[in-house]
Amino acid sequence: MTRLDPAFFARDAETLAHDLLGRTLVRVLDGQRMSGRIVETEAYLGPDDLAAHTAGWLRTPRVEPMYAKPGTAYIYMTYGMHHCLNFSADREGFPSAVLIRAIAPVDGVEIMRSHRPNAKRPIDLGNGPAKLCEALVLDRAQSGVDACRSSELFLEAGDEACPRKIASSARVGVAYAGVWATKPLRFFLDGEAHVSKGRPTTSGDVRKRLG
DNA sequence: GTGTGGATTATCT
DNA sequence: GATAATCCACACC
């Protein structure tokens, strides 16, 4: 399986969010492999994007990985109890990233389940950004990890080089971001059961594209 | 099946 | 001191 390299990540966040669909996210913990197929992403475009943590070139220790070289993991805590996984996009010094919102579990399902005892079905292991972080044991300790070099967190090309049908919608939970809240920067595989239940704050503008 | 509200804390102003 | 790129339990159809 081909591992994704820096050149893959060195594209604008929107393109990268589109292209990460269908790829395989791999987490190795205590020598045991867990993986999942990415089925939902969101693009955070950087300085101009009011929904991004780096709006207005904000630069604090927390968001530093977004400024780092493409493929760097940016993991933050939200609502005091949830973690979300992103990968830095574009180029070093330009703070954009792609949020991984949902995965379909592939390898190590039982290991993931042991980290999320409340998950009744395999689908509940990855159908939400905070859920997949819990299942894969990702927290701020992994923020800043270079996914192109790390042996604990990386991505593979996946079976499906060119996913079937990609749909887009507004992003989730960014209602405060004005016009940026309505832009179709959330991408998911249409009809895929593992997509998260989170609904965009602006309804009715889900568009479909050909894959 | 669908909708609503509460949990709980890092981070920045 | 306010706010948040969320999830889950529990009501109530």
Cα-Cα-Cα-Cα dihedral sign, residues A162, A164, A165, A169: negative
For range A165-181, the mean pLDDT: 90
Question: Maximum CA pair distance of chain A?
Answer: 45
Question: Per-residue pLDDT for A199 more than 80?
Answer: no
Task: Report the distance from CA of residue A197 to the C1' of nucleotide B1 in Å, as an integer.
Answer: 14
Task: Report the distance from CA of residue A1 to the C1' of nucleotide B1 in Å, as an integer.
Answer: 41
pTM higher than 0.85: yes
3-state SS class at A158: coil
CA distance A36 to A155: 10
Q: Tell me, what's the pLDDT at A33?
A: 97
Cα–Cα distance list, A162 to A47, A159, A211 (Å): 30, 9, 7
- Beta pairing, strands A153-156 & A166-169: unpaired
With contact defined as beta carbons under 8 Å apart, do A3 and A151 qualify? no
**Tokens 């991408």 map to which residue?**
A187
CA-based nearest residue to A74, from A50, A102, A91, A53: A53
Task: Report the distance from CA of residue A79 to the C1' of nucleotide C8 in Å, as an integer.
Answer: 13
Q: Tell me, what's the pLDDT at A208?
A: 42
Q: For A80-128, what is each residue's pLDDT tens digit?
A: 999 999 999 999 999 999 999 999 999 999 999 999 988 888 889 999 9
Percent of chain A's residues with pLDDT above 70: 91
A106 touches strand B (CB under 7 A): no
Would you place residue A207 in the very low, low, confident or very high pLDDT band (cuts 50, 70, 90)? very low
CA distance A22 to A159: 8
Q: For A42-55, what is each residue's pLDDT tens digit?
A: 999 989 999 999 99
Strand B: positions under 7 A of a protein C-beta atom? 7-13
Residue A59, CA: closest nucleotide via C1'? B12
Cα separation of the two ends of chain A: 22
Residue A80, CA: closest nucleotide via C1'? B9
Cross-strand bridge partners of residue A33: A28
